[in-house]
Structure 1
């Protein structure tokens, strides 16, 4: 079997649609979960941020375990595809419980939040990591990987757009004015649609790249290999920093429009505007990588992100059009970063096999998602800490200091992290010529 063969559009699209399903969960978590906990579920910002930080840290450490399990899975359907039909039901149940508000004491609510959120995130990881790894075994062609991941993130951003635009209306409609019931039924709706997309991906994709039959390794060997994989280490810190950048702005946006601009209804179009522009940026990724090396392209995009995010600080609160213009610009800049990063992860898995003779595709992606979750946890902790220090009070008029903190979370703070991401990319050392050499050598070893 030729592992560098071109994939059919049916397979590319079938792979990509699952990421729309993942964003039915992820975008809800990133955009609405914190404000759901503070303004609907009924716990303080400090308690919610502390809980989300703790669960993210715990869940981050489960990622390598799940990656190791996926790498060692043996079924007639492959290593990674079976998780797309094994896990959707448990994930849906955990998600609905997370967005349920039981009649409990304050301490009881905290316990419920910890348990349900942890269950949702572990289930999410059990399906998301094998799905990420699947992109690395569909084809060995670096350009095909860029195309697959570019298409995937078009669907991802489309899913995020639908969620951010429709969720507030669904909560109102399904709940009939009862936000607690509305959130529960809304999450059930998204979960059903996501499960159907996961099954579609399972049915229409194929795993082509497999480790050599004689490969012998254990989990600790996989981790040691990654720790000595310089380009992967650069991507590890890149993912952490970019996730902090994005989460700071995404989680702060609901507070920004509710308390600073005092027009919370704009959230229904503000985040979708970003998602649509990000989808447009993602769609251009395969074209851009034909002319610009992935490393250089990532550095250019993160520099643009830093400039546009900084500019947000100077926008008057009545200049809504300018807020949207900057948000759309950031979407165009950040849209390609996800397909770029995930195709680069697959490249580092090839590099690892070329360097050591061992392949651990799922572990490569799992350890990467570890850094993403750690980045999300740090961002939530930063938000919670700033809100606590500035005296944030839910559903009340905010002080000048609290409003200023929200604006900083939308501008200079994420801009600083975006510039740090640029610095990290100097340590990534795989260019197009090196990748061509690696693929040729790996093909030769299998003859």
Structure 2
């Protein structure tokens, strides 16, 4: 494979990234609002449904799809056909999962369990091959870094839409009715997502294909994984990173609600001009006959959404620096440094006074910029692990390597989410109370700062044992390209 053949066009990188934007419009909605939708909109017990289906997704759906995808043979390649096959079902099930048919109490539970299970299954069948596709679009590690940057800017855009704008959109499109609003928003997401998946399928091409010598069954794949130390380290690192992300997403609202000063938050929203922007936006929407932009009125909830939005914007900026740093210093070293520096800003959250609103925002924005550098690198490094396995074992099993990492992601989110509840309970948090005991407030401060820093620090330590540094990256890429060119020539000579 020549350098020219390895290079990805802008249209292919954009087309690929639209797939993650489509998937994350649904995924971010699921992890952020599904419990709220079940309890407050559809009036169902959410915990059991989400836990049972989530466990099946992590331990059953994802590994099975990984095995099947690695053994797919089609004129479109291994992974692209899965995106085509799941595009329409993904859109339809996204809409059905957030619909509210009146089926009686038991019927609603069965309906929710069925639609959510099918959606999660189709999500695995779509997103795992999509993730693995990044490892076979090109054999160039630099091009993968570029691709990951495009991809995760799209992810951050989806995250911004969901975490900052979804509830206002629900109320606008539903004219104040949350049930109708959710259905209308999900209809838009379903249509847009289906179109984006089809664009991803159409604009991409698999270039890294197994050679004739690469064969073997599932047990051989698992045996290769067991001997692949970089894979083991990346699995542990993935769990640790997503434990921290779950702790982050689950605790900021408590920090704003119970620790930061309400009057100081209200003053910040007023003096920064934010309230004026919302008022002007509402006036414009009203003039064209739409419902007002229903931004939360209480200072804590309003400020934390602005806080999340500013952090996401800084992450997008950080993503823009990722490729060049990785190209110069190697993904491992840049990833470790960009994990270590944000821990300083995390620890600062314990020290801030309740009235220090501006420093809180600035620290989070600096944290977001540094963490943004790591976002494309994690998945590019997982693709490197697939290359390492092929380099060592003369066999390529891209999807099963990515499936293990996605299991690690789900385990990390589950553990982190459970830790939030467990830590709060340990410190005596009183659910629904207007104020909290001082010991509970101290526990919230510890969780937002110290406890969240620990997984990042452990992950940085693990990277010292991760052997794929910049020099080995270059060597693996060079030798695999030589091997693939040799296999291609041999196959051509063997043809009659």
Whether TM exceeds 0.5 here: the answer is yes
Is 1:172 matched with 2:171? yes
Aligned equivalents of 2:446 and 2:311: distance in 1? 19
Aligned residue in 1 for 2:134: 135
Aligned residue in 1 for 2:318: 281
Aligned equivalents of 2:455 and 2:230: distance in 1? 20
Aligned residue in 1 for 2:250: 251
Aligned pairs for 1:33-112 within 5 A: 33-37=34-38, 39-42=40-43, 48=47, 51-61=49-59, 62-101=61-100
- Stretch deviating more after TM superposition (77-86 or 170-179): 170-179
Query: 1:322 offset after TM fit, Å?
Result: 2.5
Asked if structure 1 preserves the Cα contact closer than 8 Å seen for 2:258 and 2:436, the reply is: no
Judged with a 3 Å threshold, the aligned counterparts in structure 2 of structure 1 residues 432 and 203 are, in CA distance, closer, same or farther, namely same
Aligned residue in 2 for 1:315: 352
Aligned residue in 1 for 2:198: 199
Asked if structure 1 preserves the Cα contact closer than 8 Å seen for 2:214 and 2:395, the reply is: yes
Asked if structure 2 preserves the Cα contact closer than 8 Å seen for 1:21 and 1:195, the reply is: yes
Structure with larger Rg: 2
Asked if structure 2 preserves the Cα contact closer than 8 Å seen for 1:54 and 1:377, the reply is: no
Judged with a 3 Å threshold, the aligned counterparts in structure 2 of structure 1 residues 255 and 109 are, in CA distance, closer, same or farther, namely farther
Gaps of 5+ in 1: none
Q: Which has the higher contact order (CA 8 A, sep 6+)?
A: 1
Aligned equivalents of 1:96 and 1:259: distance in 2? 36
- Stretch deviating more after TM superposition (324-333 or 181-190): 181-190
Aligned residue in 1 for 2:373: 336
Is 1:445 matched with 2:446? no
**How many residues end up aligned between the 2 structures?**
443
Judged with a 3 Å threshold, the aligned counterparts in structure 2 of structure 1 residues 216 and 75 are, in CA distance, closer, same or farther, namely same
Query: 1:41 offset after TM fit, Å?
Result: 5.0
Aligned equivalents of 2:344 and 2:107: distance in 1? 44
Aligned residue in 2 for 1:306: 343
Aligned equivalents of 1:59 and 1:34: distance in 2? 17
Aligned equivalents of 1:106 and 1:413: distance in 2? 40
Query: 1:361 offset after TM fit, Å?
Result: 1.0
Judged with a 3 Å threshold, the aligned counterparts in structure 2 of structure 1 residues 187 and 84 are, in CA distance, closer, same or farther, namely same
CA-based RMSD: 2.6
Judged with a 3 Å threshold, the aligned counterparts in structure 2 of structure 1 residues 37 and 324 are, in CA distance, closer, same or farther, namely farther
TM-score by length of 2: 0.82
Asked if structure 1 preserves the Cα contact closer than 8 Å seen for 2:141 and 2:477, the reply is: no
Query: 1:8 offset after TM fit, Å?
Result: 1.2
Aligned residue in 1 for 2:305: 268
Aligned equivalents of 1:120 and 1:316: distance in 2? 44
Aligned equivalents of 2:471 and 2:386: distance in 1? 16
Aligned equivalents of 1:116 and 1:409: distance in 2? 35
Aligned residue in 1 for 2:334: 297
Query: 1:247 offset after TM fit, Å?
Result: 1.6
Aligned residue in 2 for 1:31: 32
Asked if structure 2 preserves the Cα contact closer than 8 Å seen for 1:32 and 1:251, the reply is: no
Aligned equivalents of 1:113 and 1:404: distance in 2? 38
Judged with a 3 Å threshold, the aligned counterparts in structure 2 of structure 1 residues 161 and 287 are, in CA distance, closer, same or farther, namely same
TM-score by length of 1: 0.90
- After superposition, what is the alpha-carbon deviation per residue over 1:118-152, rounded to whole angstroms, capped at 9, x for unaligned? 33222211111111111111111111111111121
Aligned residue in 1 for 2:363: 326
Aligned residue in 2 for 1:15: 16
- After superposition, what is the alpha-carbon deviation per residue over 1:14-36, rounded to whole angstroms, capped at 9, x for unaligned? 11222222221222233333454
